[in-house]
Structure 1
Amino acid sequence: MSIKPIGDTLVPMTTLDRLYEPIADDLAIVEDTLSLVAQSDFLPLEAMLNQVLSRGGKRLRPAISLLCGGFGDYDADTQIPLAASIELLHTATLVHDDVIDSADTRRGHVTANATFGNPASVMLGDYMFAHAAELVARTGHIGVIRLFADTLMVMAKGELAQDVSAFDADSGTMRDYYRRIHGKTASLFATAGAGGAMMSACDAQTIDSLREYGRSIGMAFQIVDDILDFCGTEEQLGKPVGGDLSAGTLTLPAIVLMEDDPDDNPINRFLDAKNEDSRAAYLDEALDAARQDSIVERCMDTVVEWRDRGLAALHAAPTTGPREQLTAIAEFVTQRDF
């Protein structure tokens, strides 16, 4: 087991398999449930579902949901459909994201839209949203079903906010950024935490604590993604570096650069470029500037702040729950790929 520094602490780098040990059996049933989702009597749909659902992933969201269920009266018969619905909802949003971004690859795999085209991929995402709703309906918990619906609306608003603010320098504020990433990413992590606790009949304080844990870890998760988009490699990301800024999306590294010199910075030059050639040159300049150690460190300080906020919320939850595993997941999210 290697040790890697984060902030002023040393934390163990453990594998996700180790973190997931308490829920391994139920997480395997979540996988089986997703495999059943991929089966259809309409063969073109089945081919599309298999392409997007057979690639696995970290399964952080369903794992958090199952673990948070451990703070109360855990019932696998309802926790598993909830966890599967959360993962399916997440995957459906990725299908639509790739259409919006005209992305050909994701994590090194060809996207559905690159294989099947945009119209079919939009309908595929719609089908997956509907199936996710059917899964959460199996829980029979009206509060969780309402939470699921509310989360889908918040996620859609977050994606729309990102789209309408593209190439808009005025959207380069921390407030706008946090609002966007809460909607598109952190809200589903929050639902994983709160939903698992609600399904186990936890008290209101525990539900709120685990909701805030999920939200904060989701914020940290997205900020790490945004840092990697500037500082990672194409091999590491499975897609071209700088994709966010290229699409006009202002993320934390770009915002830090803009705040350092509001009147003269490579981000504004990129946004104001009049043609593709000059825009490409300014994109390279912006990526180089964002890779400075001082910029990366300040962005990582923000990641650590959100991680610590999540851990503080977790520590307000009962000690009888799986706090150790959720703490380790928070550390994993902070450290991944660095």
Structure 2
Amino acid sequence: MSATVHTLPRSEASLGPILSLTADGMNQVNSIILDRMQSKIPLIPALAGHLIAGGGKRLRPMLTLASGALLEYGGTRHHKLAAVVEFIHTATLLHDDVVDGSDMRRGKQAANVVFGNPAAVLVGDFLFSRSFELMTEDGSIKVLKILSNASAIIAEGEVDQLTAQRQLETTEERYLQIVGAKTAALFAAACRIAAVVAERDQDTEEKLDAYGRNLGVAFQLADDAIDYDSEVGESGKDKGDDFREGKMTLPVILAYARGTDEERAFWTDAMKGKRTSDEDLAHAIKLIAKYDAVNATRERARHYADRAIDAISGFPANAARAAMIEAAQFAVARRF
């Protein structure tokens, strides 16, 4: 059980162990990323570099490398595949920021603000194309199937989230389905492909898939909490982005469900885009605090993090497993 492998208080968890574990491999991954984002069209590497060099955690490609280390894989195939994972993630971010009309990403102006929406969409398409080019170079139909399927699921999740936007009837179950698609699918694929290149059995694939999938849900729920946490400082994006975009994230879903008729009327106006001022955001944060919705969201995130930890508890107790456990703990405890 997970209780036997928790190694430190959650508040002390960091990405330090997984960063150290994957440092050498990530140097190779970053070289591949830099090489494959080049183009004879100068705008492409300029725009891609604006986001890729923007200080992201690179957690998804690190998970590919860490999963390989967990299985004691000694090859290098997973370096290109980790780059694929980051390209897919970056492409989705570029497209998301256009759809959401975001002004900030990773603490600076979003690429769509600097370069324009059309360029951001097209460079996102370029990065998707590069990712499939790298997949075919690997030569594994199974890897191609896993990653291409994840890409399709992510797109479905984004469309599903779009249809749920400003819809007050969105349930917690529906929202978790959206998160499972738009966020968790890539986490799952990033981990699972390591088992394929290491030529391990289906059971191993499924355990790594379960680790990544549950970690992805935990990561997204923590993200949702951060946007409404009055105690959180700079998170690298505009405070209240989710609120102003009318996103039915879990803190809102819980506060709406637990609220009075008057409070529900406020949420209806807010999610319909009629209450978007700083004062309205402050009121939303107060309502979410009143019903302890941030802590409830984090508690659900902890549940999924524990499920992720349980999924790898049967693997040998090595540095990779310890790093992956701490990464799951960090996903919930983080404040950025």
**TM-score (structure 2 length as normaliser):** 0.90
Structure 2 distance, partners of 1:106, 1:279, is 20
Kept in 2, the 8 Å contact 1:190–1:218? The answer is: yes
Give CA-to-partner distance per residue, 1:200-256, whole Å, 9 cap, x none: 111111111111110111101000100011115785123322211221111111111
Q: Secondary structure in 1 aligned to 2:39?
A: coil
Equivalent residue number for residue 266 of structure 2: 269
* Stretches of structure 1 lacking an aligned partner (at least 5 in a row): 1-6
Q: In structure 2, do the counterparts of structure 1 residues 201 and 127 end up closer, same or farther at CA, with 3 Å as the change threshold?
A: same
Cα deviation for residue 86 of structure 1 reads 0.3
> Within 5 Å, which residues of 2 pair with 1:1-338?
10-11=9-10, 13=12, 15-72=14-71, 74-171=73-170, 173-231=171-229, 236-261=234-259, 264=261, 266-272=263-269, 278=275, 280=277, 282-292=280-290, 294-319=292-317, 322-337=320-335
More displaced stretch, 154-163 vs 66-75: 66-75
Structure 2 distance, partners of 1:97, 1:264, is 33
Structure 2 distance, partners of 1:45, 1:230, is 34
Look up the equivalent residue of 2:236 and give its one-letter code.
Answer: G
For CA contacts below 8 A with separation 6 or more, give which structure has more relative contact order: 2
Cα deviation for residue 304 of structure 1 reads 1.0
Cα deviation for residue 77 of structure 1 reads 2.6
Cα deviation for residue 15 of structure 1 reads 4.6
Structure 2 distance, partners of 1:296, 1:224, is 9
Cα deviation for residue 323 of structure 1 reads 1.1
Look up the equivalent residue of 2:136 and give its one-letter code.
Answer: A
Cα deviation for residue 78 of structure 1 reads 0.8
Q: Secondary structure in 2 aligned to 1:99?
A: helix
Q: In structure 2, do the counterparts of structure 1 residues 303 and 14 end up closer, same or farther at CA, with 3 Å as the change threshold?
A: closer
Kept in 2, the 8 Å contact 1:257–1:295? The answer is: yes
More displaced stretch, 238-247 vs 95-104: 238-247
Give CA-to-partner distance per residue, 1:164-213, whole Å, 9 cap, x none: 11111111x11111011111111111111111112111111111111111
Look up the equivalent residue of 2:331 and give its one-letter code.
Answer: V
Q: Secondary structure in 2 aligned to 1:250?
A: coil
Look up the equivalent residue of 2:237 and give its one-letter code.
Answer: K
Kept in 2, the 8 Å contact 1:234–1:241? The answer is: no
Q: Secondary structure in 1 aligned to 2:9?
A: strand
Cα deviation for residue 137 of structure 1 reads 2.0
Kept in 2, the 8 Å contact 1:217–1:306? The answer is: yes
Q: Secondary structure in 1 aligned to 2:80?
A: helix
Structure 1 distance, partners of 2:72, 2:332, is 30
Cα deviation for residue 57 of structure 1 reads 1.8
Structure 2 distance, partners of 1:220, 1:41, is 40
Q: In structure 2, do the counterparts of structure 1 residues 40 and 272 end up closer, same or farther at CA, with 3 Å as the change threshold?
A: same
Cα deviation for residue 49 of structure 1 reads 2.0
Kept in 1, the 8 Å contact 2:103–2:238? The answer is: no
Kept in 2, the 8 Å contact 1:210–1:317? The answer is: no
Structure 1 distance, partners of 2:265, 2:184, is 28
Q: Secondary structure in 2 aligned to 1:322?
A: helix
Q: In structure 2, do the counterparts of structure 1 residues 232 and 158 end up closer, same or farther at CA, with 3 Å as the change threshold?
A: farther
Cα deviation for residue 12 of structure 1 reads 6.8
**TM-score (structure 1 length as normaliser):** 0.89
More displaced stretch, 53-62 vs 9-18: 9-18
Look up the equivalent residue of 2:261 and give its one-letter code.
Answer: D
Q: In structure 2, do the counterparts of structure 1 residues 75 and 274 end up closer, same or farther at CA, with 3 Å as the change threshold?
A: closer
Q: Secondary structure in 2 aligned to 1:315?
A: coil
Q: How many residues align?
A: 330
Structure 2 distance, partners of 1:268, 1:132, is 45
Q: Secondary structure in 2 aligned to 1:239?
A: coil
